[in-house]
C-alpha cells in the first residue's frame, strides 16, 4: 500500500487500503456479535439467597453473601455459595455440574470427613450452583464467588500461560549469561511470530500467514527481476511494471474472502443451533478425528426415566423411546411375558398396547402402579398443555410411569376430605436402610407401600404374587429375582423393588408404630428399571460420526456397567464384542482408577485408547485429551458441567451445552450448542468440512490467477519497446481489477457453496497438511500456467499476428496512435484473463468432476450444468457482474486510456471467444486426467469399500494382534 502511494498509484493504494479496512471491520463485528450471543446464555448464577440475619429470614442478592452467613435452602433452590450444613432434613442436591453424577447426593449435616476428602464425598457440604432436589437444609457460608469449588476451577481456567520464555537453570537455580540471552531471543521470536500470525491460530491460519509472507517475498523477487531485466532503470515505466508484477503475486482479497466466508459460516451455524465463540474452531471442526463426550446431559437427556417394569405375575412392561422424559403421553407401552433374565435367549417386547387395555382386569398392575404413585414424593402435572415435574429425579421417573396409566399421585390424593387415599405416616429414605415406606388409608383398607434397593426390600418380604397366586418367597425364587435384577442392571438400568402389605387395622397418626413393625412381612410386587436415557438422535449421530471417520469416546462419572450399557446402546461400543481380541476389549472400557494409574508411556503403549472411561474426574478427561494429542489426533470435547471445563479448554475444539451448561464451561469452550443436542455436533462438523472444502476451492482459484498474472508479466518482460523498456501485457489497475472484482466476488461465491453430497462419508482432512495438498499445488500450477499461456498467446496474436508488431514508445504511461496496437493487445489480454478467472470459478465448484457433469447420476445430460450454475446464486451473479463490468472499462473514454491503459476492441472479440473455448478444453482435459489417475490409484492401492459400517468403524479393534 505504501509503495503504491509512494509512486503516485493512488488507485492501487486506495483499493488495498479498502481491503484492509473491510477485513478489520468484518472481523470486529463478527467477534462482537458472537460475544453478544453468548451474553444471552449466561443464566446459571443464583440471583438471591435466603439468609438469616439478626434473627430474621431475609432475601439478599447472592453477591452480598459473606463468610459466616446462615443460609436456608429448600427443594428447587440453586445453592448460592459453598455451605457447611448444620441441619438437613431428608436433604439431597444435584451436583452433576460439579461431579458429573446424574443421581442426586444425600447430605448428612452431622458427618465429618478428613481434610483430603474429595468434593464428591463431602456429604456435609453443599456447593455453589448445585440444585436442591429434596428436603431442606440450613448451613454456614464458608466460600463465595471465585473461592468456591466451582470458582476455583474457573480461576484455574482463566490463568493464562506466560508469553515470556523461562530461563533454563541449573539444579541449584543458577544460570549462565547466555541462557538469559537465549530466553530473550526466543521470547522476541515468539512475539514476532505472533505478530505475523505464523505461530498462533489453527493450522490453516498459520499456513495462510506463512503463505502471505512467502508471496510477499516472491512479489519482492518478481519486482527485482523486472528491475534487473530493465537494467535497474529509474524510469517511471519500469517502476510501474515492477509494482504491477509485485501486485500480481499478492492475493489481496484472500484475507477478506476468508473472513467473510467464516463469518457467513458462523451465521449458518447459529441457525443450526450452534453458537461459534471463536472463528478458529469453525474450520478446525472439519479436521476433528475424535470426539470425547460426557454422558450426562450430552449423549443422554440428563433425566431419569422408567424403561422397564417387571411384575412377576404378568411379565415385563417396556416403555418406548421418548424425547421428553416428563411427558407421560410420549412413548409406546408393550408387554412381554418373558422375564428379563431370559431376554437374551428370547428377546421380544411385544407389540404396542394402550394403557387402558393393559389395565383391563389387571389387579396386579393396579397394585404396582399404586405403590409407584404413592410411595413417591414427586409431583407430575399438566399446566396449560405443558407437562411439568417437581421432586427427586428417581421419584419423578416412577411418577411419570404411573401417570402413563393415569395413575399418578394427584388422582388419588388431595387436601380435601374426598381423597381416595389419605396418608397417615411416612418412613423416609435413609442411606443405611435404603428404602422408604408410606402408610395410606382408604375407606376400605389401610396399606403400606414400600420401594427401595432390591436387597433391602427382600429382607422385608415374605411372599410374592406369581401367576399361580400368592406364594412364599423361597430361596429359589429370591435367586430368580436377583437374576432378573442383574439382567436389568446389565442394560444400564438402576433397579428398585416395590412391595406392599395390608394392615390389620388403621394406625394412630399421633402414635406412629416403629419402622420395623411396619416394614415386615411385605408382599413383593415387582421391579422397576430406571435409566438416564440417551437422546433419541444420539445413536444416529454416533453412526454418522463413524461414517465420517470420527471416533467417539464416552468419558463419564457413572458406574462402569451403566456406561458400558449406554455405550452399546448408542453405538460407541461395537455390538459384536465377542469379535474383539482380549487385550483390546480390556482397553475398550476402563475406569478412571485404571486409566489414571497409567503413566504416559503406559498409556501410549496401549494398543488403542479406551472408548469408554467410567468414574471420570476432571484430571482423567484432560489426560485422555493429551493422550489423543500424543497419537496425532485432533480432538473435540463436549460437556456441560464445570467438571468438563479443563478438558474443554485443553481440547482442540471445546463444545459446551447452552441450556444445561455452566457459565464456566461456556467460557472454556469454542462453540456452544443451544439445544444441548449431541446430534448438532454433526451440523458443526459438516459446516466445518464445507468451509474447508470451499476455502480450498477459492484459495486454488485465487492463487491460480496469481500464477497466471505473474507468469504473463514475467514472460512479458521480453516485449520491449524502442527505448529498450519492457511493455506490460497487463496494467497495474487491470491486475487489481481482476483480483478484486472478477476474482474477489466469485471467491466469496465459492465460499458460500453448498456441501458436496459425500462430505460426511469422507475421513477427516489431515490438519497438518491443511488446504495445500499435492492435488491443490499441482492444480494451481496447471491452471495458472495454462491461463498464462493463453493470455500471452492472445497478446502476441493481436500485436504480432494481426498487428504490425510495433511496441511504440512510452506505452506503459499514456495512449498515443502508435500505442494503439499495444493498447488493443492489452485489452484483449485483460478480457481473456477476466473470462478465464470467471470460468475457473465455475470449474472450481467441483475440483474433479466435469463442469458439464457435476451430478453424474443426473439424466439431464445437456442442461444439468445450467441447474448447477443457478444453484449458487451469489456465485452466478458474481460471474455475471464480472462479465458486465468489462464493458465500461473498455469503452468509457478517459477511464480506458488513463486508468486501465487499454482501449476498446472490435474484431479481437473473436480471439477472446476462441481462447475461452481453449481454456474450457484444457480445464476439462485436466480434470479428466485427474479422474483417470485417482481411479487407477484406488485400484492399485487395493482400497475396498466395506458396506458394514460397524466393521469399518471398529476395524482396529477387530484385528487380531500377535
353-362 contacts, C-beta under 8 A, 24 or more apart? 355/404, 355/405, 355/406, 358/317, 358/333, 358/405, 359/405, 362/314
- The confidence score (pLDDT) of residue 7 equals 58
**DSSP-derived pairing of the beta strands 461-466 and 522-531:** parallel
Express the helix, strand and coil content of the chain in percent, nearest 5 each.
Answer: 50, 15, 35
Helices and strands: H and E segment counts in the chain: 34, 27
**Among the options 294, 392, 640, 693, which is catalytic?**
294
Taking the C-alpha atoms of residue 816 and residue 820, their distance in angstroms, rounded to an integer, is 6
- The confidence score (pLDDT) of residue 45 equals 35
Rounded average pLDDT over 187-202: 70
Rounded average pLDDT over 700-724: 85
At 467-483, the pLDDT tens digits run 888 999 999 999 999 88
Cβ atoms 640, 102 nearer than 8 A: no
- The confidence score (pLDDT) of residue 364 equals 92
- Is residue 9 pLDDT above 70, yes or no? no
- The confidence score (pLDDT) of residue 83 equals 94
From residue 654, how far is each of 434, 570, 894 by CA, in Å?
Answer: 39, 22, 56
947 included as an active-site residue: no
Torsion angle (degrees, nearest 10) of CA 899, 905, 911, 915: 30
Is this structure's pTM higher than 0.85?
no
How far is CA 647 from its chain centroid?
14
- The confidence score (pLDDT) of residue 702 equals 85
From residue 873, how far is each of 746, 849, 947 by CA, in Å?
Answer: 11, 20, 36
Taking the C-alpha atoms of residue 93 and residue 658, their distance in angstroms, rounded to an integer, is 22
Element at 430 (helix H, strand E): none
Contacts of 144 by beta carbon, 8 Å cutoff, 6+ apart = 65, 66, 67, 81, 82, 128
Rounded average pLDDT over 67-82: 86
- The confidence score (pLDDT) of residue 43 equals 40
Taking the C-alpha atoms of residue 829 and residue 848, their distance in angstroms, rounded to an integer, is 27
% pLDDT > 70, the chain: 86
At 599-643, the pLDDT tens digits run 889 998 888 889 998 877 778 888 999 999 998 888 998 877 666
Strand stretches in 162-282, DSSP E: 274-276
The pair phi, psi for residue 5, each rounded to 5°, is -70, -35
Alpha-carbon torsion (597, 600, 605, 607), positive or negative? positive
- Is residue 523 pLDDT above 90, yes or no? yes
Residue bearing cell 458460500: 752
- Is residue 484 pLDDT above 80, yes or no? yes
At 382-394, the pLDDT tens digits run 888 888 887 777 8
Rounded average pLDDT over 201-214: 69
Rounded average pLDDT over 826-844: 91
C-beta neighbour count of 140 within 10 angstroms: 15
Strand, helix or coil for residue 875: helix
Taking the C-alpha atoms of residue 688 and residue 682, their distance in angstroms, rounded to an integer, is 10
Taking the C-alpha atoms of residue 745 and residue 882, their distance in angstroms, rounded to an integer, is 9
Please give the residue that has the higher pLDDT: either 290 or 758: 290
Q: Is 266 exposed, middle or buried (0-12, 13-18, 19+ CB in 10 A)?
A: buried
Cβ atoms 795, 829 nearer than 8 A: yes
Element at 530 (helix H, strand E): strand 522-531
- Is residue 106 pLDDT above 80, yes or no? yes
Cβ atoms 346, 338 nearer than 8 A: yes
% pLDDT > 90, the chain: 18
Taking the C-alpha atoms of residue 924 and residue 849, their distance in angstroms, rounded to an integer, is 9
- Is residue 962 pLDDT above 50, yes or no? no
- Is residue 831 pLDDT above 90, yes or no? yes
Output the furthest CA–CA distance in the chain (Å, rounded). Answer: 125
Residue bearing cell 480445464: 923
- The confidence score (pLDDT) of residue 404 equals 93
- The confidence score (pLDDT) of residue 791 equals 93
Query: 554: closest CA among 627, 640, 612?
Result: 612
Least confident of 32-41, 264-273, 459-468: 32-41
Least confident of 185-199, 491-505, 773-787: 185-199
Strand, helix or coil for residue 652: coil
The length of the chain is: 962
At 416-445, the pLDDT tens digits run 667 888 888 888 776 667 788 989 998 888
- In whole numbers, what is the pLDDT of the chain averaged over residues? 81
Least confident of 662-676, 756-770, 819-833, 935-949: 935-949
Cβ atoms 527, 307 nearer than 8 A: no
Rounded average pLDDT over 917-927: 93
Contacts of 408 by beta carbon, 8 Å cutoff, 6+ apart = 328, 373, 380, 399, 402
Amino acid at each position: 500500500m505504501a509503495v503504491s502511494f509512494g509512486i503516485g498509484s493512488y488507485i492501487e493504494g486506495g483499493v488495498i487500503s479498502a481491503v484492509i479496512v473491510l477485513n478489520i471491520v468484518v472481523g470486529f463485528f463478527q467477534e462482537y456479535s458472537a460475544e453478544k450471543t453468548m451474553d444471552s446464555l449466561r443464566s446459571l448464577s443464583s440471583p438471591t439467597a435466603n439468609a438469616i440475619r439478626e434473627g430474621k429470614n431475609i432475601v439478599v442478592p447472592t453477591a452480598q453473601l459473606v463468610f459466616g452467613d446462615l443460609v436456608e435452602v429448600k427443594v428447587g433452590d440453586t445453592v448460592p455459595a459453598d455451605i457447611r450444613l448444620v441441619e438437613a432434613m431428608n436433604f439431597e442436591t444435584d451436583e452433576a455440574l460439579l461431579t458429573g453424577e446424574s443421581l442426586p447426593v444425600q447430605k448428612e449435616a452431622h458427618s465429618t470427613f478428613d481434610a483430603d476428602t474429595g468434593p464428591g464425598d463431602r456429604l456435609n457440604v453443599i456447593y455453589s450452583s448445585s440444585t436442591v432436589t429434596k428436603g431442606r437444609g440450613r448451613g454456614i457460608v464458608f466460600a463465595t464467588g471465585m473461592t468456591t469449588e466451582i470458582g476455583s476451577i474457573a480461576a484455574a481456567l482463566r490463568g493464562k500461560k506466560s508469553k515470556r520464555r523461562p530461563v533454563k537453570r541449573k539444579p541449584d537455580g543458577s544460570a549462565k549469561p547466555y541462557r538469559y540471552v537465549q530466553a530473550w531471543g526466543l521470547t522476541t521470536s515468539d512475539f514476532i511470530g505472533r505478530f505475523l500470525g505464523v505461530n498462533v491460530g489453527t493450522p490453516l491460519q498459520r499456513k495462510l500467514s506463512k503463505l502471505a509472507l512467502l508471496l510477499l517475498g516472491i512479489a519482492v523477487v518478481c519486482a527485482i527481476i523486472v528491475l534487473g531485466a530493465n537494467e535497474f532503470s529509474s524510469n517511471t515505466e519500469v517502476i510501474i511494471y515492477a509494482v504491477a508484477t509485485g501486485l500480481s503475486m499478492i492475493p489481496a482479497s484472500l484475507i477478506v474472502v476468508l473472513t467473510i466466508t467464516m463469518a457467513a459460516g458462523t451465521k449458518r451455524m447459529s441457525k443450526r443451533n450452534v453458537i461459534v465463540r471463536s472463528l478458529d474452531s469453525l474450520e478446525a471442526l472439519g479436521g476433528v478425528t475424535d470426539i470425547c463426550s460426557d454422558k450426562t446431559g450430552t449423549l443422554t437427556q440428563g433425566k431419569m426415566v422408567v424403561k422397564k417394569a417387571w411384575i412377576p405375575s404378568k411379565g415385563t412392561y417396556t416403555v418406548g423411546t421418548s424425547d421428553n422424559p416428563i411427558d407421560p403421553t410420549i412413548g409406546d407401552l408393550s408387554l412381554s411375558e418373558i422375564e428379563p433374565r431370559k431376554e437374551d435367549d428370547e428377546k421380544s417386547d411385544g407389540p404396542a398396547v394402550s394403557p387402558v387395555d393393559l389395565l383391563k382386569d389387571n389387579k396386579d398392575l393396579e397394585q404396582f402402579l399404586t405403590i409407584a404413585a404413592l410411595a413417591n414424593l414427586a409431583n407430575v402435572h399438566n399446566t396449560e398443555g405443558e407437562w411439568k415435574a417437581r421432586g427427586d429425579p428417581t421419584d419423578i421417573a416412577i411418577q411419570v410411569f404411573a401417570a402413563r396409566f393415569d395413575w399418578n399421585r394427584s388422582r388419588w390424593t388431595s387436601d380435601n376430605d374426598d381423597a381416595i387415599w389419605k396418608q397417615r405416616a411416612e418412613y423416609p429414605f435413609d442411606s443405611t436402610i435404603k428404602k422408604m415406606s408410606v402408610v395410606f388409608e382408604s375407606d376400605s383398607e389401610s396399606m403400606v407401600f414400600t420401594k427401595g434397593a432390591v436387597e433391602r426390600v427382600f429382607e422385608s418380604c415374605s411372599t410374592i404374587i406369581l401367576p399361580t397366586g400368592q406364594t412364599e418367597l423361597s430361596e429359589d425364587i429370591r435367586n430368580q429375582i436377583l437374576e432378573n435384577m442383574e439382567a436389568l442392571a446389565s442394560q444400564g438400568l438402576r433397579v428398585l423393588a416395590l412391595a406392599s402389605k395390608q394392615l390389620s387395622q388403621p394406625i394412630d397418626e399421633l402414635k406412629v408404630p416403629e419402622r420395623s413393625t411396619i416394614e415386615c412381612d411385605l408382599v413383593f410386587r415387582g421391579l422397576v428399571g430406571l435409566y438416564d436415557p440417551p437422546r433419541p438422535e444420539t445413536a444416529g449421530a454416533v453412526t454418522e460420526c463413524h461414517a465420517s471417520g470420527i471416533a467417539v469416546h464416552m468419558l463419564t462419572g457413572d458406574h462402569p456397567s451403566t456406561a458400558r450399557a449406554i455405550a452399546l446402546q448408542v453405538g460407541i461400543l461395537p455390538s459384536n464384542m465377542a469379535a474383539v481380541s482380549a487385550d483390546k476389549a480390556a482397553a475398550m472400557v476402563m475406569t478412571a482408577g485404571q486409566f489414571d494409574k497409567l503413566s504416559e508411556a503406559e498409556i501410549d503403549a496401549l494398543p488403542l485408547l479406551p472408548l469408554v472411561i467410567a468414574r471420570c474426574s476432571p484430571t482423567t478427561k484432560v489426560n485422555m485429551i493429551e493422550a489423543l494429542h500424543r497419537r496425532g489426533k485432533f480432538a473435540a470435547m463436549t460437556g456441560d458441567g464445570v467438571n468438563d471445563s479443563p478438558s474443554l479448554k485443553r481440547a482442540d475444539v471445546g463444545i459446551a451445552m447452552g441450556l444445561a451448561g455452566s457459565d464456566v464451561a461456556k467460557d472454556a469452550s469454542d462453540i456452544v450448542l443451544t439445544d444441548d443436542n449431541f446430534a448438532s455436533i454433526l451440523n458443526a462438523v459438516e459446516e466445518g468440512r464445507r468451509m474447508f472444502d470451499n476455502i480450498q476451492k477459492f484459495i486454488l482459484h485465487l492463487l491460480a490467477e496469481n500464477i497466471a498474472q505473474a507468469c504473463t508479466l514475467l514472460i512479458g518482460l521480453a516485449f520491449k519497446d524502442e527505448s529498450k523498456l519492457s511493455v506490460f501485457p497487463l496494467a497495474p489497475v487491470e491486475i487489481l481489477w481482476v483480483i478484486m472484482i472478477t476474482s474477489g466476488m466469485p471467491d466469496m461465491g465459492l465460499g458460500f457453496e453448498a456441501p458436496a453430497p459425500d462430505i460426511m462419508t469422507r475421513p477427516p482432512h489431515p490438519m497438518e497438511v491443511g488446504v495445500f495438498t499435492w492435488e491443490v499445488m499441482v492444480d494451481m500450477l496447471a491452471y495458472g500456467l495454462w491461463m498464462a499461456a493463453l493470455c500471452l498467446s492472445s497478446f502476441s496474436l493481436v500485436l504480432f499476428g494481426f498487428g504490425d508488431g510495433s511496441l511504440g514508445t512510452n506505452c506503459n504511461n499514456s495512449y498515443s496512435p502508435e500505442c494503439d496496437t499495444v493498447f488493443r493487445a492489452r485489452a484483449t489480454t485483460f478480457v481473456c484473463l477476466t473470462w478465464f478467472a470467471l470460468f475457473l470459478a465455475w470449474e472450481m465448484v467441483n475440483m474433479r468432476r466435469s463442469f458439464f457433469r457435476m451430478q453424474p447420476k443426473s439424466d439431464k445430460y445437456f442442461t444439468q450444468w445450467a441447474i448447477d450454475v443457478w444453484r449458487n446464486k451469489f456465485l452466478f451473479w458474481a460471474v455475471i457482474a464480472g462479465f458486465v463490468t468489462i464493458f465500461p472499462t473498455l469503452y468509457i473514454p478517459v477511464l480506458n486510456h488513463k486508468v486501465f491503459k487499454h482501449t476498446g476492441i472490435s474484431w479481437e472479440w473473436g480471439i477472446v471467444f476462441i481462447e475461452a473455448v481453449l481454456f474450457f478444453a484444457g480445464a476439462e482435459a485436466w480434470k479428466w486426467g485427474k479422474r483417470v489417475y485417482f481411479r487407477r490409484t484406488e485400484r492399485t492401492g487395493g482400497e475396498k469399500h466395506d458396506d458394514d459400517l460397524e466393521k469399518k468403524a471398529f476395524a482396529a479393534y477387530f484385528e487380531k494382534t500377535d
